[in-house]
A and B are shown apart, each in its own frame.
Chain A
Amino acid sequence: MAPETADAIIRVRDISVQFGATKVLDGLDLDVKRGEILGFVGPSGAGKSVLTRTIIGLVPKTSGSIEVFGIDLDAADARARRGVERRWGILFQQGALFSSLTVRQNIQFPVREYLKVSQRLLDEITVAKLGMVGLKPEVADRFPSELSGGMIKRVALARALALDPELVFLDEPTSGLDPIGAGDFDELVRTLQRTLGLTVFMVTHDLDSLYTACDRIAVLGNGKIIAAGSMADMQASQHPWLRAYFHGKRARAVMG
């Protein structure tokens, strides 16, 4: 079980989520510490995305409590909730860019909604954010349908970072990227975490990402966290699924 820590940015306690008769999450506890990159793994269909969506409030839970930035999201009123939402950024699996807005407008959208700043500053910040995610300013006037898969992920990350959040959720950020692109992305997440002091909650299947980017790994199975700890802990674990995952053919190729 996740230990009690004072500096937990996300504190999930005993949450259950049910779709019809199927229990997807069953009394799950999880802490994410401030400033860490948490890699979240588990078999396909185990409910990783469901947990992410439950924390950010897109899926209703049947029981349990979720605290983000020390604010209980169930008890919070609309104003407090908006305050919390301003402080996190979310990268959806498919990017979820607004298809009828340009890259520039996509990145400026949250800023424009929350802050009253001049168009000049907006444009400068857009260029800065694009630079941070490794894109040239020229892509700013393209539409999402004119971008490659990797660029969509980068723009989506730039949008997630637009308001300088303290916490970002990344849902399979490197899926669908080539290994070099994925490696760059991991590096990027690391750099951003260092420069902006981000906390990152990353759902991933990419062993390279887990190995190079993540400080801590949590494993989901049977609706609960079956293990949480460093890479070394994971490799030492005797749990059958963990053994298969971290000692499989692909894992050996990554870890040499």
Chain B
Amino acid sequence: MSSDPTLERIAQGNGLALCAAGSWTARFAPVLEKMVADAEKLTGSRPNIFIDVSQVSKLDTFGAWLIERLRRSLTRGEHEAKISGLSANYSSLVDEVRRVKASPAIDTNSVTITGILDQVGRSVAGVGSTLVGLVDMLGAVLAASVRVMIHPSGFRLTSTVHHLEQVCWRAVPIVVLITFLIGCIISQQGIFHFRKFGADIFVVDMLGVLVLREIGVLLVAIMVAGRSGSAYTAELGSMKMREEIDALRTMGFDPIEVLILPRMLALIIALPILAFLGAIAALYGGGLVAWLYGGVDPEAFLLRLRDAISIDHFTVGIIKAPVMAAVIGIVACVEGLAVQGSAESLGQHTTSSVVKGIFFVIVMDGVFAIFFASIGM
């Protein structure tokens, strides 16, 4: 039923007939486009050109538009190219495409130096507004928690417990596994290098201090930012996209109180617990490797550990945890609420939630390091 389209040129006196035949449909669009482009070169070659479409067996929008395009480019001055032999079935289609205006210019985003500079400038300027956004959210969350303290009935216990299960209980296996492995690696590397100096036993000092003060909490915070921060952003973002947050607001609920406060609270409770479990797992893993690989038996390990570390090391680590949790939570919620209508925007904000969350966690860790050093802890 469908046959290859053709466009024959037949001279008629001082005129020229372009006879279109076959299927002028989307299927043959690449061929048709080429034929029409060739025929367009005939513009002005003869005073009288017309397009005969009586042999066209099938016509759709693509074909009709290409015939119309040909007609337009062959029309020059007072010589209007005509279309003849149009069957009744297709005349309305041709009329339809005749109303199409010449295609508007497309603005293509070409990469230019000024464009790149423009983008760099915008992202630098954006840092300020990011910080303002974070402080704004921090204030809103604090205000909401004060309101909840005054009216405890507004506190959403069920929701908090639900999120606690998600970010704490369900995170335990992976957190314990990863910190256990990291403990093993620290211990192995320590023994390998300290052995050269005959200082094998000091690996216990290094492991204890490193795990309790820094690595334990930092590693767990980074994992939580990746695991729960991204989930918060995606949840809040898709709620924003479907106008669920607007719906809450119109019902007289404060989204901060209903959605964000339980999430923040769950995270702030969860991170110290996870950091504690992570530190134990890392010490366990380190101890195991020290015993099996370094020949430090468990009794000697524990004895050395008791001498090497004080409660201060543990306190320093665990104090940092809730602050880091708050930072991760605030970044995640700000990003979640900033999601626009598209799926792409959701992806961008989830990415930047994790990136910014990890960045701020490390910055906070540095600030804490300076602080504890200066108070001598």
Contacts and interface: CB of A to CB of B under 8 A. Distances in A.
Interface of A: 98-100, 111, 114-121, 123-125, 127-129, 131-132, 137-138, 140-141, 143-146, 161, 163-164, 191, 194-197
27 contacts: A111-B26, A115-B27, A121-B62, A123-B106, A124-B69, A124-B100, A124-B103, A125-B62, A127-B100, A127-B103, A128-B61, A131-B96, A131-B99, A132-B61, A137-B101, A138-B104, A141-B107, A143-B341, A144-B341, A144-B342, A145-B342, A164-B26, A191-B92, A194-B92, A195-B93, A196-B93, A197-B89
A117 B33 contact: yes
Enumerate the 5 nearest inter-chain pairs by beta-carbon distance, A residue then B residue, closest first: A145-B341, A100-B344, A99-B342, A164-B60, A195-B93
B30 A117 contact: yes
A163 B26 contact: yes
Interface in B27-70: 27, 29-30, 33, 60-62, 65-66, 69
A176 to B, nearest CB: 14
A159 B183 CA distance: 56
B345 interface: yes
Interface string B84-102: 0000010011001101110
Nearest to B69: A124
A125 to B, nearest CB: 6
A115 B93 contact: no
B60 A100 contact: no
Contact of A164 (B33, B62, B103, B104): B62
A117 B29 CA distance: 7
Contacts of B340: 145
A128 B60 contact: no
A124 B340 CA distance: 30
Given A128-B65, A145-B340, A115 B30 contact: yes
Interface of B: 25-27, 29-30, 33, 60-62, 65-66, 69, 89, 92-93, 96-97, 99-101, 103-104, 106-107, 340-345
A144 B341 CA distance: 8
A129 B104 CA distance: 14
B343 A100 contact: yes
Contacts of B89: 197
Contacts of B60: 164, 196
B25 to A, nearest CB: 7
A118 B96 CA distance: 22
B-side interface mostly: helix
B244 to A, nearest CB: 15
Contacts of B96: 128, 131-132, 195
B25 A164 contact: yes
Nearest to B345: A100
A49 B268 CA distance: 45
A163 to B, nearest CB: 5
B341 A99 contact: yes
Nearest to A197: B89
A164 B61 CA distance: 7
Contact of B343 (A99, A128, A161): A99
Contact of B29 (A121, A123, A194): A121
Given A115-B26, A115-B30, A117-B30, 7 more contacts: A115-B27, A117-B29, A117-B33, A121-B29, A121-B33, A121-B65, A164-B25
Interface centre among B29, B30, B66 (most CB of A within 10 A): B29
Contacts of B30: 115-117
A131 B60 CA distance: 15
Contacts of B62: 121, 125, 164
Contacts of B61: 125, 128-129, 132, 161, 164, 196
A143 B342 contact: yes
A131 B342 CA distance: 25
B31 to A, nearest CB: 10
A132 B342 CA distance: 26
Contacts of A116: 30
B148 to A, nearest CB: 33
B104 A118 contact: no
B39 to A, nearest CB: 15
A23 B240 CA distance: 36
Nearest to B58: A197
Nearest to B108: A119
A89 to B, nearest CB: 12
B103 A123 contact: yes
A50 to B, nearest CB: 23
